[in-house]
């Protein structure tokens, strides 16, 4: 369909179907930020941060001096290539371009990671990271176990907010809107594209419920593997996709002296957009 820009399995971006991007963010110095991720770096050179080995394995330590004062650490914005003074009337192509830029230039392993915020019926908020698996003018799609906490809250309130933050590029997109279940055909197609081990895990996991031990989880996976031995693994009825409608979209780009650029779009009842610039 012509309105679909980015869907499960195949897209014009490598974002949702390609291998993980490789790369690293810029280098820091104690008390200040020394830029090494300007435009030429984001497209070519691979600046590598200092690495330390901790008790849980190899991790990146972005600051060269352990224990330095981080309060003054702030990079200055240089990646402003959206015209915030004259923003386009339609935010969807801007979202698509920023997604493509994130895959090509951010150096992040999962540029399609987004923070999903939900709220319980009694007003208790919660947030977690999920992966964007589809995007077009209808909204942002992700897949999950509907019996998890996020599923319970989405089913109860029907609303959510998502946040994409690409720190190396000093950009973020925030989307708010109503949430609806995607079609069974869409969910089936995406589920079938997953690794068999992931499909087994979707049956085994009682997501967000207490688990006594790793062995209990491994045993549940073994049981499901035996259950589906020699046959295809179908999609569990409680596992499907949600689409967050594009009702409110904010673009943020970092600026010097924390004088950031912000533009917000609100969808009107007739489907058009009202665009406003916001104070930092």
Active site residues: 258
- C-alpha dist (Å) from residue 20 to 86, 97, 106, 110: 34, 19, 12, 7
Burial degree of 237 (CB within 10 A; 0-12, 13-18, 19+): exposed
Torsion, Cα 43 45 49 52, to 10 degrees, reads 110
Full DSSP string of 218-244: HHHHHHHHHHTTTS--PPPTTEEEEEE
d(CA 261, CA 280): 6
């Amino acid at each position: 369909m012509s309105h679909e820009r980015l869907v499960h399995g195949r897209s014009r971006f490598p974002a949702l179907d390609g291998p993980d991007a490789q790369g690293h963010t810029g280098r820091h110095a104690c008390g200040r930020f020394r830029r090494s991720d300007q435009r030429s770096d984001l497209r070519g050179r691979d600046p590598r941060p200092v690495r330390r080995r901790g008790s849980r394995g190899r991790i990146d330590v972005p600051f060269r001096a352990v224990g330095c004062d981080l309060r003054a650490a702030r990079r200055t914005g240089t990646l402003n290539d959206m015209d915030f003074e004259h923003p386009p009337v339609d935010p969807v192509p801007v979202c698509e371009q920023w997604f493509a830029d994130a895959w090509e230039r951010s150096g992040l392993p999962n540029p399609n990671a987004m923070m999903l915020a939900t709220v319980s019926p009694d007003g208790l908020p919660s947030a977690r990271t999920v992966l964007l698996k589809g995007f077009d003018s209808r909204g942002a799609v992700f897949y999950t176990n509907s019996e998890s906490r996020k599923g319970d809250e989405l089913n109860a309130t029907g609303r959510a907010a998502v946040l994409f933050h690409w720190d190396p590029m000093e950009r973020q997109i925030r989307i708010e809107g109503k949430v609806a279940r995607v079609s069974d055909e869409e969910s089936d197609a995406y589920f079938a594209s997953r690794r068999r081990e992931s499909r087994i895990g979707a049956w085994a996991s009682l997501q967000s419920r207490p688990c006594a031990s790793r062995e209990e989880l491994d045993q549940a996976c073994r049981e499901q593997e035996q259950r589906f031995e020699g046959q295809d693994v179908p999609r569990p009825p409680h596992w499907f996709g949600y689409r967050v409608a594009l009702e409110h979209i904010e673009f943020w780009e970092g600026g010097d002296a924390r004088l950031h650029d912000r533009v917000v779009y609100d969808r009107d009842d007739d489907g058009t957009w009202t665009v406003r610039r916001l104070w930092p």
